[in-house]
Chain A
């Protein structure tokens, strides 16, 4: 049903999904197939979400290549590399259900690379015990997006693309919808829905050097936090070991772990294969946090390349193999850097890649602590703990995307529509419009300062002083963000959008910094130079919750694993 008002249009839908990457689209399909009416909102054009950037593959213990693989080993790898603060039940669900989600994707029309006997091919990846990543060359994410987009379109699921959600709407303690701006028309829309799923991905754009798309500004985290949802593990930011360093315009752009999976080696300026000093057993294929810190240490020690990276070399595999297995890497280096990776070494350095933390969810249904609100994909937390394994995020978006759609759909079935408060809607429209003004602070300057601060002070190695300095800068930027503004109108005004994104970006940054100050140890992706060791007392999660205008932090125990799962996992060592 659609109601038109002078200022905005109201729509009704059982399940509203914010975000149209892999998790959002997979959720839309399952909610629709469970009989709900579904509306999907996408910040970018349909099919452009950050998932298209995923390269390496989907981790699923199908045992097509290594027959010893099983869900139990995948589970143990996930818990151990998450440094024991993952939610065990999420890891168990992921390990058990990922193979079915991959086969289902194949039945939707995705075409994976094959083994010689015609099964789905699986490649090696960092810290996975067995060859486990189902892949489509180095374009796995694109295949997922296109396949799900097809399913969405042919089901006739309603979507609004280039739509930016500015606020979740509540009635009492329950979320009853959302509202926002259609960027390509400048119109406001309100969605009255029984359940809302947040699937907005990560927040890499709060950093200067990142592999993330333009749209990854942590919007969903801010929306949920403002609505009272608990965030968790926010200090855990993954630095991917290999991002491009040159030319400047593509600094941070991902160089897939698949390069190392296919045999690529890391060298310093002296030609030394330095990983043998950092990780003699697993070498280049150790977990991402280990390899990223090794690359960083080599660069800091003055053994870096001319543009401030280390070398990644795959030339020994020969041109045919490289072009077949890593076609888009070949093209990426050729097009942007003028480097032929079949003949020359690549220059790479760590880049902000993924957020392990996010909205705390129930493993079975992905429900948050706020009634009517669900979350799936990178924006949710729990599965990856302190460090994510490569390939587990594509498994995550499919497995928990589906569960989220079902969870929200079941919730919607027993819920009724809430009553939207018209004056709240009008006030929010007023807030959005107020950013269109003359002689205001340039929002891009605020965003640039934020990104610089995060990269300098809240990077791969952190310390108390740097973090506290960052916190002070964030407070100033918060004040400036309120004075930001742009000229022009509501239609396709990216400067206005930047004004609207800033509060969310600052909330996310504040949570990361406060969490990083609070966690006085080094665990997984979170490394402190002033607390270089892991501390058994901190084998816990940090929960972030809004109370008034204050961010409250609370330590909470990791759910205890039942005996049959505990015996699958190596004891944690200190």
Chain B
């Protein structure tokens, strides 16, 4: 039977001062993905290996890791797609390590809590009428499975403690801003509170998104443009002050 060597990062931060890569020989099955390989280790070689997975189908976003240093879903990376045959699996580097391949992503719930929620315009007749074309943009962002690979790849998050919320959260805010019946504009919040200004649009997030959301082009850049328009366009400033006045009544 054909075999493949998978090199897996092992570390329990409460026990080991440093991590190490351990090589495992895995029998290859047709159509096998990296998740199948690490599950094989868990089941047949070393059950103490900690991995996180759930749906095995690219729909839940649990099995995020770095495969040969590239943030990827283990369930969607086929062994036969990896060039050169060397497979190194390590945890997402942007998050605190829990154990082995499992990281603590809980800070994301705190960030999501801070994004102003969906707030429908007042006085819309029910049931709501919305046209299909108006939902398409928001729908793209709603494909997000919260795998946080975009967060992991983002050099602002990896290298600087800037307070930048990260691409996932801009996508979330954009999905709400582009909801046809939402009444808020979250761009100023993104700029002031979520550190969006730190993003220098390198598009790494877009490249790793398993749902192929065009994060930079369709979410981050439009939100940045809104900030620019609102902050520096005199006409927009006037409209904004009128709108505010109306809302305060």
A566 at interface (Cβ–Cβ under 8 A)? no
Partner of A109, one of B47, B99, B132, B179: B179
B129 at interface (Cβ–Cβ under 8 A)? yes
Given A44-B62, A111-B139, A248-B29, A154-B117 contact (CB < 8 Å): yes
Verify A150–B61 contact, CB threshold 8 A. no
Task: Report the Cα distance A52→B127, complex, angstroms.
Answer: 26
A50 contact set on B, CB distance < 8 A: 54-55
Query: Could you mark each residue 110-147 of chain B with 1 if its beta carbon is under 8 Å from any beta carbon of chain A, else 0?
Result: 00110001101000001111111001001100111110
A103 at interface (Cβ–Cβ under 8 A)? yes
Instruction: Please list 28 pairs of residues, one from A and one from B, whose beta carbons are closer than 8 Å in the complex, sorted by A's number.
Output: A44-B60, A48-B60, A48-B61, A52-B145, A53-B59, A103-B126, A103-B127, A109-B179, A111-B135, A139-B143, A146-B144, A150-B112, A150-B117, A153-B113, A154-B113, A154-B117, A156-B113, A161-B106, A184-B102, A246-B31, A249-B29, A250-B31, A491-B98, A492-B102, A493-B48, A494-B50, A495-B42, A495-B47
Give, as a whole number of angstroms, the nearest-CB distance from B215 to chain A.
16
A150 contact set on B, CB distance < 8 A: 112, 117-118
Given A52-B59, A109-B176, A213-B55, A117-B129 contact (CB < 8 Å): yes
B55 contact set on A, CB distance < 8 A: 48, 50, 52-53, 213-214
Given A44-B54, A154-B117, A336-B31, A113-B132 contact (CB < 8 Å): yes
A480 at interface (Cβ–Cβ under 8 A)? no
B176 contact set on A, CB distance < 8 A: 109
Taking chain B's interface residues, is the majority helix, strand, or loop, or is none over half, making it mixed? loop
A2 at interface (Cβ–Cβ under 8 A)? no
Interface residues of B (CB under 8 A from A): 12, 14, 29-33, 35-36, 42-44, 47-48, 50-62, 76, 98-100, 102, 104-106, 109, 112-113, 117-118, 120, 126-132, 135, 138-139, 142-146, 176, 179
CB contacts under 8 Å to B, within A137-152, are: 137, 139, 142-143, 146, 149-150
Verify A253–B57 contact, CB threshold 8 A. yes
Partner of A136, one of B35, B60, B98, B139: B139
Interface residues of A (CB under 8 A from B): 44-48, 50, 52-53, 103, 106-109, 111, 113-114, 116-121, 136-137, 139, 142-143, 146, 149-150, 153-154, 156, 161, 184, 213-215, 246-250, 253-254, 328, 331-332, 335-337, 442, 444, 486-489, 491-495
Give, as a whole number of angstroms, the nearest-CB distance from B140 to chain A.
10
B35 contact set on A, CB distance < 8 A: 249
Verify B31–A247 contact, CB threshold 8 A. yes
Partner of A250, one of B50, B56, B120, B130: B56
